Structure 1
Amino acid sequence: MPECIVRFSGNNLKEPLIIKSLVNLLNQTSTKHVLVVSSPKEIQNLLSRGIKNLISSNGNPELLIRQIHAEVDQIKTVFELCEVAELDNWFEKLEILLKGIYYTGDFSPSLQDQVLSFSEKIATILLFGILKHNHIQADVVFPETMGLIVSEEFGNASIKMEESSTQIAGLTLGKITLIPGSYGITSAGKIARIGYRAADYTAATLASIRNADGLELWQIGTPFKTADQQFVDQADYISDLTYAEASELTYFNYSGIHPRIVEPLIEKRIPILVYELNDGKKILRTKINSKSIVAKQVVKSVAYTDDIAILKLNGPGVGFKPGILAKVTGLFNKNNINIRSVITAQTSINIIIDKDSAERAKKLTSDLHLPSVSQVTLDQRVSLIAIVGHGMQQNHGISASLFSAVAHNKINVIISGSGASDLVSYLIVDENDKIKAIQEIHKIFFK
């Protein structure tokens, strides 16, 4: 029997119409389906914030459990679910772990990953209960029992394909199988998370190991469109993307897809099919494959992110003084601060970093007392806007059109960049100019 590997978002557990479509599809299919489930963001966030509070004087494990129960009860009420016995078992285990953190103060990365894995486990058991309520028999298989082996980089582990393949390839699965995503098991037997909401990376690994014809993503949070539809009414679905284009877009506002999703698929050239669930059917919106052809429409999307800040190291001669950038990047690496890009001039080094690391990065840099750096400043009120698509370097009019779109509308560009990749050109603008810039750039490329 053929097998379909699907990544299904836990956020859809609060969407009755989507669940109705899911139930209809699974009832009608004769194909085996493996659904890799991510966590609802509310449960994920509650656990993430809650375990940090447990080691403070304000810690309260009982309150945290009640809050998670409340989120689960909302979903159970929507679908008129009675008690799901399997949920009680997982809640008991979670409560024991939370109380252990509270009373011992143990907050190791390993223990944190173990606790956060419950967000996907709870979501998967909830979906199991919903399907059972609708007379659909499903099995639940956990990564730690199926042999999904990962590295010991807690919080950001990588899947070890070779070690995982033997056991996973030989698994006998039922017609409907549910698997919690986003974590695996280390060689030492510890749970390690693959990253924040990385269930699609897990699903891609299963698709590769089990030689699926494709990986299907059902009802992702942010569909692939020519722009964000909340800013551009005319934004349309992107029918085709390459692996590289899709990966580039994940770093911007397409947060529904994990940046590493294509890694396990590249060698076997397994396509990714992005579906919308509607009226009991699945509608193909975007196909992602390994081709790197420059299409007639070079620019595929106008993307953006607000999750950046610019750290500026100013001073006469910072561009001449050797070693400044090396000291800063080495310090950031040691403190797990991600650098997105670096743009230098003779009197300033501009480092683009994630916004949540900005204040910490500024303090660390200031404490270095670097020679030739007279001032360290931080600009957080900015947005990065990018045009994405293969063929930027072969089509010289692209950059001209990009800059004319913002220039004609008196939008000030703080920093611009292109040339590092044939895939993307970007502008950094004041956050107040973001929406206008996106709209005008979209007009230029998608008339």
Structure 2
Amino acid sequence: MTRVVKFGGSSLANGPQYEKVTQIIMANHERRIVVVSAPGKRDENDQKVTDLLIEYATLSELDQNIENIQKTLVARYETIAQYFQLSPSDFKTIRETIIQLPLLFSGKGNDRLAYFKAHGEKLNAMLMALILQKLGQRARFVDPAELGLVVTGQPDSATITEESYTNIKHFKISDDEILVIPGFYGVTKKGDIATFARGGSDITGSIVARGFGVHFYENFTDVSSVYAANPNIVDRPVAIEQMTYREMRELSYAGFSVFNDEAIIPAIQGQVTINVKNTNRPNDPGTRIIPEHDFHPSHPITGVSNSDHFSALYLHRYLLNQEVGLTLKLLQIFYRYNISYEHMPSGIDDLTIIFDNRQLTEDKIQALCADIEETLEPDAMQWIEDYTIIMIVGEGMFLKPTTVAEAISSLTMNGIEVNMINQGASQISAMIGTKKKDAKRAVATIYQHFFQEDNHD
């Protein structure tokens, strides 16, 4: 059985980390398809290679001095190569590619950024293949263009095409070789590089697993498990052994950052089991993300998370629920400003619209509110910045209808104000709105209510 295995930037930051990765790959002959990120930070004061490449793209576009940034980038990869005693001739192509990037691509703006950023992963995949070869493995670097990973969309927010899966399915791989594939990007039909919006290497890993028909995808990062709550909020939270695709999607939406929520989609389509593991503790079992039909919940909730990148617009108008077309008018306004909304809980006279405020600016908020005021003429309207969403998620919630009531009761008993309650149609999640100052305490309170009996067993 073949496995896809992906390594994040922290796992590939330097020579010693790289050595751990090569040992993991060689420890199991089933790990034959390797997806890599660009080298991450070596310490808190360091820069990610991706950030260096963004700087490189900007400086070169402005015709400013690029010698220092070129030297820094070469050194990042060369230090790893020297750790494994690669010869200068082996490293020559990587060095020359870094130096020649401004000559290889003359485009500007987001096209240029995508081209430069993607080389963080591309050069690292080339280096990984060389190192595995040095260690006696039959490894082959495979560019996304060669693989047939075709994308559409903007240069910095690519979307995978269905034809990619057909292309990957027919890609030839020998029984004794290891393919090393750069994550984070694909190519358009015109041959241009386009990157995924965020967490791109996770997405590539899922795409490749589905394409090759691989049903086990190991995603190595710097933690041993996905936890039931943020360890920065709850001391030593319960490690999640298994969770479903949709649980991961829901929790990722509200703050779980271990695995990219968009990367779940190809895995769902290919029914791929994802195993989140720790590069530094590879023998730890990690967390498995599996299809719903294989899951048997042992707890009412699987996890609780929070996110404070939300704002809300509150509208009050008598007989609001009887006005035909009001929601349509609102959506038309959002469309004009190119704004998406996250949730819209309502009552007979009240409506709250929740936004991801990362898409908003102060000017856009003022213009949006003025437009709504003029178009809908509400009796009262308030923009709420002080807004945090708490997400409670668990397949077991469907089996225990009192779960949400228990969570709310635990908050009110501890003096935490609840501004909004919204339970998803799937009945495996509930969203609670609180003030930002109460967010961490709310997460800890809900966690303690549901997990205190099992914690630290």
- Structure 2 CA distance for partners of 1:353 and 1:361, relative to 1, 3 Å: farther
Q: State the 1:175 CA deviation.
A: 2.5
Q: State the 1:235 CA deviation.
A: 0.5
Counterpart CA distance in 2 for 1:111 and 1:321 is 48
Aligned to 1:150: 151
Q: Does 2:368 match 1:362?
A: no
Aligned to 2:455: none
Read off the aligned partner of 2:395 and give its amino acid letter: H
Deviates more, 1:319-328 or 1:249-258: 319-328
Deviations 1:84-119 (A, max 9, x none): 323223323432367x45xxxx43x54543343223
Aligned to 1:372: 377
Q: State the 1:345 CA deviation.
A: 3.8
Residue 258 of structure 2: SS of its match in structure 1?
Answer: coil
Counterpart CA distance in 2 for 1:253 and 1:222 is 18
Deviates more, 1:319-328 or 1:241-250: 319-328
Counterpart CA distance in 2 for 1:203 and 1:409 is 43
Aligned to 1:299: 301
- Structure 2 CA distance for partners of 1:154 and 1:14, relative to 1, 3 Å: closer
Q: State the 1:317 CA deviation.
A: 5.9
Residue 340 of structure 1: SS of its match in structure 2?
Answer: coil
CA RMSD of aligned residues (A): 3.3
> Aligned ranges for residues 92-111 of structure 1 at < 5 Å?
92-96=99-103, 100=106, 106-107=108-109, 109-111=110-112
Q: State the 1:134 CA deviation.
A: 5.8
Aligned to 2:7: 8
Aligned to 1:234: 236
Counterpart CA distance in 2 for 1:60 and 1:317 is 61
- Identity fraction in percent: 21
The question of whether the paired residues in 2 share the 8 Å contact of 1:311 and 1:352 is answered with: yes
Aligned to 1:404: 409
Q: State the 1:5 CA deviation.
A: 0.8
Read off the aligned partner of 1:287 and give its amino acid letter: R
Residue 433 of structure 1: SS of its match in structure 2?
Answer: helix
Counterpart CA distance in 2 for 1:327 and 1:441 is 38
Q: Does 2:97 match 1:90?
A: yes
The question of whether the paired residues in 1 share the 8 Å contact of 2:59 and 2:65 is answered with: no
The question of whether the paired residues in 1 share the 8 Å contact of 2:74 and 2:95 is answered with: no
Q: List runs of 5+ in structure 2 lacking aligned partners.
A: 41-47, 453-457
Deviations 1:208-254 (A, max 9, x none): 22222311111256941111111111312101111211222221222
Aligned to 2:21: 22
Aligned to 2:423: 418
Q: 2:355 aligns with which of 343, 353, 369?
A: 353
The question of whether the paired residues in 2 share the 8 Å contact of 1:204 and 1:215 is answered with: yes
The question of whether the paired residues in 2 share the 8 Å contact of 1:358 and 1:378 is answered with: no
Read off the aligned partner of 1:177 and give its amino acid letter: L
Q: State the 1:313 CA deviation.
A: 4.0
The question of whether the paired residues in 2 share the 8 Å contact of 1:39 and 1:197 is answered with: no
- Structure 2 CA distance for partners of 1:176 and 1:419, relative to 1, 3 Å: closer
The question of whether the paired residues in 2 share the 8 Å contact of 1:311 and 1:358 is answered with: no
Counterpart CA distance in 2 for 1:26 and 1:130 is 12
- Structure 2 CA distance for partners of 1:335 and 1:128, relative to 1, 3 Å: farther
The question of whether the paired residues in 1 share the 8 Å contact of 2:5 and 2:31 is answered with: no
- Structure 2 CA distance for partners of 1:128 and 1:245, relative to 1, 3 Å: same
Counterpart CA distance in 1 for 2:258 and 2:100 is 29
Deviations 1:7-32 (A, max 9, x none): 21123222666433222223444335
Residue 432 of structure 1: SS of its match in structure 2?
Answer: helix
Aligned to 1:250: 252
Q: TM-score, normalised by structure 2?
A: 0.83
Deviations 1:356-398 (A, max 9, x none): 2233551341342323136654333332111111142442220
- Structure 2 CA distance for partners of 1:30 and 1:419, relative to 1, 3 Å: closer
> Aligned ranges for residues 162-177 of structure 1 at < 5 Å?
162-166=163-167, 168-172=169-173, 175-177=177-179
> Aligned ranges for residues 140-289 of structure 1 at < 5 Å?
140-166=141-167, 168-172=169-173, 175-219=177-221, 223-278=225-280, 281-289=282-290
Read off the aligned partner of 2:50 and give its amino acid letter: Q
Q: State the 1:47 CA deviation.
A: 4.7
Please identify runs of 4+ aligned residues in structure 1 that moved more than 6 A: 52-55
Residue 238 of structure 2: SS of its match in structure 1?
Answer: coil
Q: State the 1:348 CA deviation.
A: 4.3
Counterpart CA distance in 2 for 1:79 and 1:147 is 28
The question of whether the paired residues in 2 share the 8 Å contact of 1:10 and 1:123 is answered with: no
Deviations 1:308-345 (A, max 9, x none): 22233455665555444333433434554332211234
Counterpart CA distance in 1 for 2:149 and 2:427 is 35
Aligned to 2:439: 434
- Structure 2 CA distance for partners of 1:20 and 1:51, relative to 1, 3 Å: closer
Q: State the 1:446 CA deviation.
A: 0.3
- Structure 2 CA distance for partners of 1:222 and 1:38, relative to 1, 3 Å: farther
Q: State the 1:354 CA deviation.
A: 1.6
Q: Does 2:313 match 1:311?
A: yes
Deviations 1:392-420 (A, max 9, x none): 24422201210122111111122221143
The question of whether the paired residues in 2 share the 8 Å contact of 1:315 and 1:375 is answered with: yes
Q: TM-score, normalised by structure 1?
A: 0.84
Deviates more, 1:32-41 or 1:385-394: 32-41
Q: List runs of 5+ in structure 1 lacking aligned partners.
A: none
Q: State the 1:140 CA deviation.
A: 1.5
- Structure 2 CA distance for partners of 1:397 and 1:67, relative to 1, 3 Å: farther
